Amino acid sequence: MVEKYKPTFLVEAVYQLTPEMLKKHGFKAVLTDLDNTLIAWNNPLGTPELHTWLEELKQAEIPVVVISNNSHKRIEKAVAPFGIQFVSRAMKPMIKGFREAEKLLNLKPSELVMLGDQLMTDICGSNRAGIASVLVKPVVQSDSFATKFNRMRERRVWKKLEKKYDMTFQEGI
């Protein structure tokens, strides 16, 4: 049962995924969560590392699409500094948003990889959609109630995964 939450890869941060690594695995585009994966609530413009990484992917012609459960208005504003495409109200872990992104990119699930900080939404959704996934460490610890509640559930799943699999964060894929 816990398999549905198992990420394909675990990596410390999105910046560690170089275009070469992505290409080696046959990934032609990157899908990604927004909050706590790319940006933190206290730094909505993103770090210099994030901007450099996005520029590297652009140079390598690897498109990036944000898949978020947040509203169109919020996501449109949040991704504006990065100039990337997005799917809002994705309802992760449902596959709706993943399918929308596939259509947007005209790519198959096997050609995509999803990056996210949450097992219950980002990783579970990727697994359902048949898309490889990378779990990253959350950019910051948030203290909103909803996040705390989710983290509690996440920890339970995490413990089960740890019993069965090597859940060490790597520096690349």
User: What residues numbered 8-37 form the site for Mg ion, per CB under 5 A?
Assistant: 33, 35-36
Residues 6+ apart with CB under 8 A from 89: 69, 70, 71, 72, 97
One-letter identity of residue 27? F
Shortest-Cβ-distance residue relative to Mg ion: 36
What's the closest the beta carbon of residue 124 comes to Mg ion, in angstroms? 13
Per-residue binding letters, 63-102, with Mg ion (x by CB under 5 A)? ----------------------------------------
Q: Strands, E, within the chain: which ranges?
A: 9-11, 29-32, 64-67, 85-87, 112-116, 132-136
Per-residue binding letters, 106-145, with Mg ion (x by CB under 5 A)? -----------x----------------------------
Residue 62 near residue 29 (C-beta atoms within 8 A): yes
- The enclosing H or E element of 40 equals none
What's the closest the beta carbon of residue 75 comes to Mg ion, in angstroms? 12
Binding stretches for Mg ion (CB under 5 A): 33, 35-36, 117
